Each structure stands twice: as structure tokens, then as C-alpha cells.
Amino acid sequence: MTEVRCDRCDFVIGMGCACPIDGSAPKEDPLASPRQEWRRFPADTILISPARYAHLPGACTHLTEELVTAPRWGWIPTPPAGLWDRLSDSFPATATEGNTARQAVRRCEECATALT
């Protein structure tokens, strides 16, 4: 059986993916533990998933620091100002560390919401 990964969080569907089928942001469990503190990545690092999503350390509940490893992930530890806001198909962000072949073309909705 082949593993099918979620395009949004990159977890295996049915084995860790908590994204709603309708594509909306996952509902936060009020009984869940507080968000994990990230130690290896500065808060402004842009993390780039294999599904081409950009994430921010600790900003979303479906991603933990232990999962962000090369060669599966790439990251930009000191992104240029405004890069997060410009992310798109026409303005991808290319990883400078980890898997430097990774490019993000869209932002994780939960991470974007955490910034507001």
C-alpha cells in the first residue's frame, strides 16, 4: 500500500494528518498541550515542505521541529524582508539550507493566521 501524503501538512493521510477534508484550517484542540518551543530554527525561519508549502517554526499545530529535517525539508534561516508576503507561483522562495532544491510557492494558512 502506498502512503498518500497531505498536500498541506505533508503528513500521511490517516496517520498524523489533522487537516480537514474541506481544506480549512485544522481546529485547535483546547485540551492539547501548548505549542512546542522550537530550538533549532529562529522564529523568522521559513520552513519549506516537500509539498511546496512555507511554514514558520511553532506557528502551526500540525508540524513539530523533529519532522523538519533534510533531505525532506529545506529552510531559509534569515529570509529577506517581505519574502513571506511575496510567496507565490511567480515568486517562489528557495531554501538556502537543508534541501536547497525545495521551493515554496504558498503559505500554510495556519502559519499565516498566527502572524495576524
pLDDT at 32: 47
Q: Mind listing the pLDDT tens digit for each residue in 23-59?
A: 555 544 444 444 567 899 998 999 999 999 999 999 9
Could you tell me the pTM of the whole model? 0.72
Percent of the chain scoring above 70 in pLDDT: 75
pLDDT at 4: 77
pLDDT above 90 (res 15): no
Distance CA 28, CA 68 (A): 21
Q: Is the peptide bond before 57 cis (omega within 30 degrees of 0)?
A: no
Q: Mind listing the pLDDT tens digit for each residue in 71-110?
A: 999 999 999 999 999 999 999 999 999 999 999 999 999 9
Task: Locate the domains of the chain by residue range.
Answer: 46-114
